[in-house]
Structure 1
Amino acid sequence: MVTEIKQIKEQYQAEVGSERKAWPNAIKDRVSKLYALGMNGKAISVAIDISYYSILEWRPEGLPDSRGRKAASHFHSLPVVKKTKIGTVTIPTLSPDHKVEMVTVTTPDGYLICLPEHKAVSFLSQLREM
């Protein structure tokens, strides 16, 4: 299995070059199989010469790392609450030396969405196009 991963890695790097791209699923799937066979992330990383942190990202959900921490889900929940029928944006009032971190957007359908400031701008422009 390690030899297969090394061959796929060589071929992938020859085709892609030095550009930073996501590793192919063929490698990720084989790494998951190595985990299933009992290898830990550090051993896999050393054997196939891929970053330990990449290997940890491909660890099957619920499988602990070398410190006993379990793999987290790759999905993040976004708080959405139905509230009113008014479309508004709420930005907290802060002094000039503070930065706005979260923006609350109430959509015309009444959904309340809390977003980081940098994502709220994109969300509002997409909402305006609807």
Structure 2
Amino acid sequence: MERPLGRHSRRSDPSEPQTLGPVLCPLCDRVIPGHARSSRHHLTPKLKGGTHQGTVRLHQICHSAIHARFSEAEIARRLNDMESLREDPEMQRFLAWVRTKPDDFHARTRRTRSRSSSRADR
């Protein structure tokens, strides 16, 4: 019997166009191997009006890093495209670190100190 898929399935999303070449994470520019953890990131969070059409496939660790550092309101307000995310100083530190890791690297992501202490805009 096949196990049910979790929220962050390793299977490809049927709504994603099938590509012949490697799939690149638009945040860290590393390849997302077929067996690696990945998930869809809403550029504008669903709670703030985002839709499925406004999503990008990211490594799970990259997606988790975004949500560990920023609130939904901040993502919607100023970080709703890949360029803005890549240019943010906190994300630049993360990206410099994760780019030294293998393409299928995954580790638990903890909420940042500033995000842990501010619970006001959740």
TM bracket (short chain): under 0.3
TM-score by length of 2: 0.23
Q: By percentage of residues, which structure has more helix?
A: 1
Larger Rg over CA atoms: 1
Q: By percentage of residues, which structure has more strand?
A: 1
Q: Which has the higher contact order (CA 8 A, sep 6+)?
A: 2
